[in-house]
Amino acid sequence: MINRLGFNNEGAAAIAAKLERMRLCGGLPKIPLGMNIGRTKIVETKDAVSDFLACFETLYSFGDFFTLNVSSPNTPNLRDLQEKKLLRELLTAVQERNRKLAASAGIEPKPVFVKIAPDMEFAQVDEIIEVVGSTQLTGIVATNATAFMRENLKSPKGREPGGLSGRPITAKVTSFVSHIHKGTGGQLPIIGVGGIFNAEDAYDKIKAGASAVQIYTGWIYEGPGAVKRINQGLRCLLKRDGLKQISDAVGIAVKK
């Protein structure tokens, strides 16, 4: 699937207001609530840090974890923030604000991940790993949709601009997860996302080193029931391989 949606929403203030109404009228969901933050389209790269911080602070009390999205292919120049110097500036600023807000609330700092693109060489991934480690970020979301990969697509619409996701990037994303897992000695949590439609797809990401997975295209084509089917399938796969829990499978393909 190719999408050109970008960060289509009403903005952090509107989302915070909706969540506050939910909190007052019955409470927020019992499951972890993640916040995906990206630079506003009209904001220039030089002002990106302040834009991220504004969203982060506005939504801080509602989020159980945060993802700093520096890899959407549909926001002009957003991927510039994956460059080592700019990324370090952003992650350092967010973590400083994270510690400050946590101290004011009397809680531990919130988990923060960075979401990266599949359209880079592993050498740049290694630079990102170094920055993530030095800023003590929680982990990496690997990966976003691809802006450039269009090999083997049969439809003429496959050449259209936008972020390509789903089956065409399955293997590429798994290789990214495996590389990050190897490069961090299995010590950095990875959320694997890209081409997951069934339990076997999820299991491949987990065995490559993902501690958790996300679905996007699979959710659209398979519907919400895909989550239950994937979880049930994972139980069968763990039993087949003689593993007691999903954490036992994390990175086992890399260790061989």
Q: What are phi and psi of 199, to 5 degrees?
A: -65, -40
DSSP string, 5-43: --S-SS-HHHHHHHHHHHHHTT-S-SS--EEEEE--TTS
- Of the candidates 65, 167, 51, 169, the one whose C-alpha atom is nearest the C-alpha of residue 111 is 65
Per the DSSP assignment, residues forming a β-bridge with 35 are 66
Nearest to 90 by CA among 111, 110, 113: 113
Q: Which one of the listed residues 72, 165, 178, 211 is annotated catalytic?
A: 72
The closest alpha carbon to 172, from 200, 149, 141, belongs to 149
89 token code pair: 């500036």
- The answer to whether 61 is a known catalytic residue is no
Pairing of strands 2-3, 163-164: antiparallel
Q: Which two tokens stand for residue 234?
A: 């994972």
Closest of 161, 115, 116 to residue 3, by C-alpha: 161
Determine the distance from the C-alpha atom of residue 41 to the mean position of all C-alpha atoms in its chain, rounded to a whole number: 19
- Annotated active-site positions, please? 72
